[in-house]
Structure 1
Amino acid sequence: MNLNISGHHVDLTPPLRDYVTTKLKRIERHFDNLINADVVLTVEKLRHKAEATVHASGADLHAEATVDDNMYAAIDSLIDKLDQQTRRHKEKLRDHHVREAVKRMPLQ
């Protein structure tokens, strides 16, 4: 997966970059077909905002989180939202009705 991390009014320190990459690995565990991810970290006054767009096969997932405390809490909230979206997308890709169709077929 290609990862692009940018900061707006934020110095992207190596620990902050490492934190984002380790958290995004959690999403890769759930769904392998991720193409790339664009993460933007922003600070406006005292509000820390993290937003990400993940391009997966079949969908583009977007989430954002705003927290007053610190950037790490905003990243945690963002990853939770993205994780939920990827699990929902993965469930939509599965065909759950195959077993029901097999059960209803008459025996010949």
Structure 2
Amino acid sequence: MQIEVAVRHGSLRDEIRDLIVRKSEKLVTYFERVTAINVTVEFAGERVKTELLVDAEHKHDFVASTEGDEIVSTFEATLHKMEQQIRRYKDKIQDHRRDKPTSEVVTDGIDDSEE
């Protein structure tokens, strides 16, 4: 898996770059088919915009972005959005053959309304 951090109109300290790489690697725990992660940090005056692009096997790219005042908090918000997208997609592909979620399926075959 490749992780690439790009910076526009500024520079990042090595500690922040390492933090971004370490936290981005955790996306693999949510979805094993992640092949590449691209993080773009863009400085626009006092504002910071982070964009996260995740490439997975057999799927189009996932994209999340956030704008804020601080680099770390903005990146964490973007990462949280990405985690939600990946979780929803993984749930969707795992439940694609069921009419009802497994939590709604009656296990004993007895309907409570008949009693």
Bin for the TM-score computed over the shorter chain: 0.7 to 0.9
Taking structure 1 as the reference length, the TM-score comes to 0.83
How many residue pairs align between the two structures?
Answer: 101
Pairing 1:9-28 to 2, within 5 Å after superposition: 9-28=9-28
Greater Cα shift, 29-38 or 89-98: 89-98
Pairing 1:56-75 to 2, within 5 Å after superposition: 56-57=56-57, 58-68=59-69, 70-75=70-75
Cα deviation, residue 25, structure 1: 2.3
Structure 1 residue ranges, 4+ long, deviating more than 4 angstroms after superposition: none
Greater Cα shift, 79-88 or 18-27: 18-27
| Percent identity for Structure 1 against Structure 2 | 24
Mark the runs of 5 or more structure 2 residues left unpaired by the alignment.
106-115
Cα deviation, residue 20, structure 1: 0.7
RMSD after superposition: 2.1
Pairing 1:1-108 to 2, within 5 Å after superposition: 1-57=1-57, 58-68=59-69, 70-95=70-95, 97=98
**Deviations, residues 38-57 of structure 1 (Å, cap 9, x unaligned):** 11101101111100110012
Amino acid at match of 1:56: A
Higher relative contact order (CA 8 A, sep 6+): 1
Cα deviation, residue 23, structure 1: 1.1
Amino acid at match of 2:13: T
Mark the runs of 5 or more structure 1 residues left unpaired by the alignment.
101-108
Taking structure 2 as the reference length, the TM-score comes to 0.79
